[in-house]
Amino acid sequence: MALHLPRACILLEWASRACHKTMITLHLRFPKPEHSHPILLAPGLLDRCGAALREAGLEGPIALVSDTTVAAYHGARVRRSMEEAGFPVLEILLPPGEKTKTLDTAAALYRRLARGGIGRDGVLIGLGGGVVLDLAGFVAATYMRGIALVSIPTTLLAMVDAAIGGKTGVDLPEGKNLVGAFHPPRLLLIDPMVLSTLPPAEWRNGMAEVVKAALIGDAALWQQLRDHPARWAAMPEIEPLVDLLTRAIAVKVRIVEQDPLETRGEREVLNLGHTFGHAFERVSGYRVPHGEAVAAGMMAAAALSARRGFLEEPRLFQDLEDVLRGLGLPTRWRAWLARYGIDASPEDIIAAMGTDKKRRGGRLRFILIHRPGVVRVHSDVPDEAVLQALEETAGL
């Protein structure tokens, strides 16, 4: 297997074995103690995940759910570590990609678990990107009225976003994430080394959410991105990577803790760039990658913030464009959509927002940037201003 790994991965694996790395432990606290859980982050953690489960008091047996791509790179290490810690492991592999995140796949998983003898005392491990984690989480929430879940995210997006907050779910033909459950993991294990095998497009996708996290709640992280945009275009050295992950995760943890069950509204700020972004995704028939849509969406949100007079730092718009460009993400939506063969007008984009679930009481709600680290929800934005922001950020 090692022979097939990219060179970067082999080097990083070597580095992880050679150096003694400390563990970073964060906590995500929900009102119910049984929902609260630690987040462990350490290079090389995959090789120690079995021991981490034991330390968390988890017993077996284990069902390890992953997709075939992730399993080919990282599955054996997780399995080995679990077996070394004395856990019997039932491995279940799924095809990669969003089309796997369905009720049919969930049903097939329930049956595999039942046939594999996984009972109420079983532990379901999701090893993969957001697709695997959402699906595995949903199955863990519902199988036998709920069994223990351990999440091991392997994409940047899953580490900083999908794995945090307890939301699980599957898609319906009628829309994404329409069926779901709140089911936080008992343990969230993050090994940054696994990102060394991530395709560049997936790295960029995740970086869009990191930029979002910085703008929402970490001015220092924003400064780092702004000062060295090119440094983050690909996976950096391990130390800055760990710092980046810890900071972006901390932003989401803080916001989720303020609004644990998404009932109070604080969690809405996590949708920065997403009201526009979802509209771009919709007009494209979901052909554009989510991270790219969020990047173009954040530009439109920044333009709207400036137009409404909320932006306290006028240079932020240009800085954001430089950061996103440095990361290889789109900033001007018309030219970007044209690359996917999509010709849309600002009016088309606004029409596509009409069905957004963030529209409440007939008015669209936008997350607007006041300054790096400070964003607010605004529900009184006239369509005229939205149209102007879209025209301003259309590009050629």
Ligand X SMILES: NC(=O)c1ccc[n+]([C@@H]2O[C@H](COP(=O)([O-])OP(=O)(O)OC[C@H]3O[C@@H](n4cnc5c(N)ncnc54)[C@H](O)[C@@H]3O)[C@@H](O)[C@H]2O)c1
Please check if 176 is assigned to a binding site: yes
Which of these, 182, 184, 195, lies nearest to 45 by C-alpha position? 195
Q: Which stretch binds ligand X (CB under 6 A): 11-19, 91-99, 257-265, 320-328?
A: 91-99
User: 4 or 20, CB closer to ligand X?
Assistant: 4
Residues 12, 37, 26, CA angle at the centre, nearest 5°? Answer: 50
**H-type alpha helices, the chain:** 7-18, 49-55, 68-70, 76-84, 103-115, 130-142, 156-157, 200-217, 219-227, 238-258, 274-283, 290-307, 316-326, 333-339, 346-353, 383-392
Q: Using the rule CB under 6 A, which residue among 60, 130, 229, 277 binds ligand X? A: 130
Shortest Å distance, C-beta 54 to ligand X = 24
Extract the tokens encoding 286.
């979901």
For residue 368, the SS3 value is strand
Quick check: 165 binds ligand X (CB under 6 A)? yes
Which residue's CB comes closest to ligand X? 130
Q: Using the rule CB under 6 A, which residue among 48, 63, 67, 138 binds ligand X? A: 67
Quick check: 303 binds ligand X (CB under 6 A)? no
Quick check: 158 binds ligand X (CB under 6 A)? yes
For residue 278, the SS3 value is helix
Number of residues that bind ligand X (CB under 6 A): 30
User: 134 or 392, CB closer to ligand X?
Assistant: 134
Shortest Å distance, C-beta 240 to ligand X = 18
Shortest Å distance, C-beta 77 to ligand X = 12
Quick check: 71 binds ligand X (CB under 6 A)? no
Quick check: 128 binds ligand X (CB under 6 A)? yes
Q: Using the rule CB under 6 A, which residue among 162, 306, 316, 367 binds ligand X? A: 162
User: 162 or 241, CB closer to ligand X?
Assistant: 162
Shortest Å distance, C-beta 130 to ligand X = 2
CB atoms inside a 10 Å sphere around CB 202 = 19
Compute the distance between CA of residue 133 and CA of residue 27 in angstroms, rounded to an integer. 19
CB atoms inside a 10 Å sphere around CB 223 = 14
Q: Using the rule CB under 6 A, which residue among 6, 88, 97, 146 binds ligand X? A: 97
Please check if 101 is assigned to a binding site: no
For residue 85, the SS3 value is coil
User: 267 or 332, CB closer to ligand X?
Assistant: 267
How far is residue 293 CA from its own chain's centroid?
Answer: 14
Quick check: 197 binds ligand X (CB under 6 A)? yes
SS3 content of the chain, % helix, strand, coil (to 5): 55, 15, 30
Compute the distance between CA of residue 136 and CA of residue 166 in angstroms, rounded to an integer. 12
Q: Using the rule CB under 6 A, which residue among 125, 194, 296, 304 binds ligand X? A: 194
Residues 105 and 94: beta-carbon distance below 8 Å: yes
Task: By CB under 6 A, name the binding residues for ligand X.
Answer: 67, 69-70, 73, 96-98, 101, 128-132, 134, 154-155, 157-158, 161-162, 165, 167, 176-177, 194-195, 197-198, 202, 205
